Chains A and B, each alone.
Chain A
């Protein structure tokens, strides 16, 4: 009979214990990511029908939306581990947050890049101050700020903890930023463009997007676990 008190909550909180676990989870996730991506791309290119209004250009959605989802999800996960690290003073949590940031920033950039390439043929402009793209741009600044702050601090522990405070302040702000930008967007008319699909999307399109989202998620797990292993090694905590 196990209850909450008998679970070894901090079993894997030691970098040394976590290191091998991270290794094989990263490899497994990487393989899963490849399989899911193959499935998702197949559905996206060969199963989902051509869009009536946007033609083939809409197929960018299969990487644009999953990338945007990952960019937001990874920031929340990053802030979660940052908060755990501050609350329980666990070293590994701070390392995990540090490991997640570059991947999150990359997906944010990709969301913006693919969004721009989608916007050009469909709305005629490389960049539109669409509420979501603008919020995504600010999210990129938040990621880059986090990484810049940690890069500027030499002491790893101070860097972890300073980044943690910043990440928590940031994650609280993200909904506020999003809603304020959305309000700003509706105030300034002429921004009625939106890169979202209508709610009645064909099931195959939804399937393709979900598969790619899962693929990106598995990829993120693989890369960030590999990166946290590097950080553990660099701090000399990998053990023998």
Chain B
């Protein structure tokens, strides 16, 4: 089972590597969105420091949303997806592997770039680990829940926007916990509560979303 998963992840990573542009644009979007807020609200340092965790997290949500509509579309177009549905590998493993690959390509880089954005917002460096850890725990959940939306909206007109409409409300707890963990740390308190909740959310999502994604794929394909 793990060899199947690893094989699928490597395949998706290879495909993403061949189209570095797609990956790059989503990351660039993250940076651009985060840069827009100071232009909109003014450059007052105290204000920016206060809104930074929220802005970074919202930008992460939107950025991960961008690449989700492509998650199954390419495989669907050339028939690979049907093969996966018919194949011997458990569909839950297959979709979990695809979501994992999506996270490696669209979520993990955000963890690396976020401190740079935090620097722009003059966030105290002591908060960088909390920010990175919150994103590290939260972005996989975004990929998993987003994959449910991607499977449901496969092949539909208005796909990308509809996907965002479906998934963003479901992402709200992750946003609240993630941004909240940094804000709590900024106030001098321990972010352990929020981070543990994020970890719990990750465990729950990893356990249950593969069922939902697989069910949604079967509904969308048949």
Contact = CB atoms under 8 A, between A and B. Distances in A.
Q: Tell whether A pairs with B.
A: yes
Interface in A175-222: 176-177, 179-181, 183-184, 187
Given A177-B173, A181-B176, A168 B212 contact: yes
Contact of B153 (A149, A179, A181): A149
A161 B156 CA distance: 15
A142 B169 contact: yes
B38 to A, nearest CB: 21
Interface in A111-160: 138, 141-142, 144-145, 148-149, 152-153, 158
Contact of A138 (B153, B165, B172, B184): B172
A148 B184 CA distance: 36
B219 interface: yes
Category for how many chain B residues contact A = 20 to 34
B104 interface: no
Contacts, number: 73
B172 A86 contact: no
A100 to B, nearest CB: 18
Contacts of B73: none
Contacts of B152: 149, 162, 165-166
Interface of B is mostly: helix
B177 interface: yes
B46 to A, nearest CB: 16
A60 interface: no
Interface of A is mostly: helix
A144 B164 CA distance: 12
A170 B145 CA distance: 11
A187 B158 contact: no
Given A86-B215, A149-B152, A169-B212, A141 B165 contact: yes
Contact of A141 (B148, B168, B212): B168
B162 A180 contact: no
B220 interface: yes
A53 interface: no
B170 interface: yes
Interface of A: 86, 138, 141-142, 144-145, 148-149, 152-153, 158, 161-162, 165-166, 168-170, 172-173, 176-177, 179-181, 183-184, 187
29 contacts: A86-B215, A138-B169, A138-B172, A141-B168, A142-B169, A148-B162, A148-B165, A149-B152, A149-B153, A149-B156, A149-B162, A152-B157, A153-B156, A162-B216, A165-B148, A165-B216, A166-B148, A166-B152, A168-B212, A169-B148, A172-B208, A173-B170, A173-B173, A177-B172, A180-B172, A181-B176, A184-B176, A184-B180, A187-B184
